[in-house]
């Protein structure tokens, strides 16, 4: 079992990091009152305002920020400012033993998926797949439900997703229990063949992505299939695939056909339609805890992510 980080409480300080691309600083500024309303203080990472092309500072700067926040005893949790690209560039240099000794809340998604997988497998820590400050919280369209999902960091409670939140459609029926893992499909695919390759055996796999053509999603799923990541899988939670419609529908399979091809005959529960990913509202979940997917009742239940 992975370690549960300690819950946050009012008065705690959270560290803000940018392990990937430079965040929109105006959006980041707009997001800070949200944290303050939850009773949190903020410590900004040194590389958050740095820029090196499409990266928020050099690899060394971004890595140093991540390490500093985990090592700092005054920091109770770490929230990513945004995603983009670049987290995987520093992952093989992370001090996972240090993180294991200093377990704390770590929250983000999209490009941060690579870090979730690595930290989960090498530091054995539960982490959180949820909206980020500059990318989501600081925007006008940030949904009240997305904001409420941060409440799971302050008290251990079971998360329950049903069709009251969004329409859910079974690709394959059944009921499964297993550890919830995954995140952005592109980042999961890029882990294949590395020491950070995602372990899916007996797990419930979450996938989401944004602005990909169906053939690109097809290619990613095919690579996971050929890497035998669907063998021994317990179930699949298909999150939001924003702007993934074909440019020319007459010359393309649609996403439903792609999902059916890979998942319909696996003999495990697979459900699509979850508002998890690049969407509003964004239903946040802990990764590395036990979950139950019921493709008959159309529910997903996830155990608490903090202690």
- pLDDT for 68: 98
Please report which residue ranges of the chain form alpha helices under DSSP H: 25-37, 59-71, 87-91, 96-101, 113-122, 144-148, 185-190, 214-226, 255-263
CATH number, span 13-153:
3.40.50.10740
Element at 170 (helix H, strand E): strand 169-172
The reply to whether 159-302 shares the fold of 13-153 is no
Q: Is 74 among the residues known to form the active site? A: no
Domain 159-302 CATH superfamily:
LD-carboxypeptidase A C-terminal domain-like (3.50.30.60)
Q: How far apart (Å, rounded) are the C-alpha atoms in residues 36 and 48?
A: 19
Domain boundaries, the chain: 13-153, 159-302
- pLDDT for 221: 98
Q: Which residues make Cβ contacts (< 8 Å) with residue 252, sequence separation at least 6?
A: 213, 214, 215, 246
Q: Is 172 among the residues known to form the active site? A: no
Q: What are the φ/ψ torsions at residue 199 (nearest 5 degrees)?
A: -95, 115
- pLDDT for 1: 85
Task: Find the catalytic residue in 47, 208, 282, 284.
Answer: 208
Cis peptide before 281 (omega within 30 of 0): yes
- pLDDT for 137: 98
Q: How far apart (Å, rounded) are the C-alpha atoms in residues 151 and 181?
A: 21
Task: Find the catalytic residue in 191, 278, 282, 284.
Answer: 278
Element at 166 (helix H, strand E): none
Q: Where does residue 95 fall: left (phi above 0), alpha (psi -120 to 50 degrees), or beta otherwise?
A: beta
**Taking the model in full, what pTM does it have?**
0.97
Give the chain's residues under pLDDT 50. none
Task: Find the catalytic residue in 110, 135, 190, 191.
Answer: 110
Q: Is 261 among the residues known to form the active site? A: no
């Amino acid at each position: 079992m992975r370690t549960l980080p300690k819950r946050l409480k009012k008065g705690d300080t959270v560290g803000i990091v940018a392990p990937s691309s430079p965040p929109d600083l105006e959006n980041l500024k707009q997001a800070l009152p949200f944290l303050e309303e939850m009773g949190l203080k903020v410590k900004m990472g040194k590389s958050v305002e740095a820029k090196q092309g499409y990266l928020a500072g050099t690899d060394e700067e971004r890595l140093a920020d991540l390490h500093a926040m985990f090592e700092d005893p005054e920091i109770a949790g770490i929230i990513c400012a945004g995603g983009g690209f670049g987290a995987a560039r520093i992952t093989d240099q992370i001090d996972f033993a240090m993180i294991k000794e200093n377990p704390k809340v770590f929250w983000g998604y999209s490009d941060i998926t690579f870090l979730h997988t690595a930290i989960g497998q090498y530091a054995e820590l539960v982490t959180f797949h949820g909206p980020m400050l500059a990318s989501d919280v600081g925007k006008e369209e940030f949904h009240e439900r997305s904001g409420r999902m941060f409440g799971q960091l302050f008290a251990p409670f079971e998360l329950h997703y049903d069709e009251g939140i969004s329409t859910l459609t079974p690709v394959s029926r059944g009921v499964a229990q297993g550890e919830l893992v995954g995140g952005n499909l592109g980042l999961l695919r890029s882990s294949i063949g590395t020491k950070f390759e995602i372990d899916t055996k007996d797990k419930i796999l979450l996938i989401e992505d944004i602005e990909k053509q169906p053939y690109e999603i097809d290619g990613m799923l095919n690579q996971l299939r050929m890497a035998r990541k669907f063998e021994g899988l317990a179930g699949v939670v298909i999150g939001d695939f924003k702007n993934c419609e074909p440019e020319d529908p007459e010359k393309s399979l649609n996403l439903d056909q792609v999902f059916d091809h890979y998942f319909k005959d696996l003999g495990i529960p697979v459900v699509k339609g979850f508002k998890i990913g690049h969407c509003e509202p964004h239903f946040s979940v802990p990764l590395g805890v036990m979950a139950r997917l019921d493709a008959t009742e159309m529910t997903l239940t996830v155990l608490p992510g903090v202690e």
